[in-house]
Amino acid sequence: MKKSSKRIWSIEEDDLLKELVREGGAKDWSTIASNFENRGGKQCRERWHNHLRDGVRKDDWTID
């Protein structure tokens, strides 16, 4: 079984991902990933949708 090693995203990687999505849109994740040394399309897509895109709520949970 393949052992996975998680790497924390750097500020530079986040900035590059934001720029690439700004230029080409949030699609074709394999092409976007080709701009990173050790990141795949799925990693880029998940980072964008779960952490970086506008509208991601990062505040505390409420009872509602």
Q: pLDDT tens digit string along 4-55? A: 567 899 999 999 999 999 999 999 999 999 999 999 999 999 999 999 998 7
> Given this model, what pLDDT does residue 5 score?
67
Q: In angstroms, rounded to a whole number, what is the distance separating the alpha carbons of residues 40 and 34?
A: 8
Does 1.10.10.60 match the CATH number of domain 11-52? yes
Identify the CA nearest to 26 among candidates 52, 58, 56, 57: 52
Please give the model's pTM, rounded to 2 decimal places. Answer: 0.80
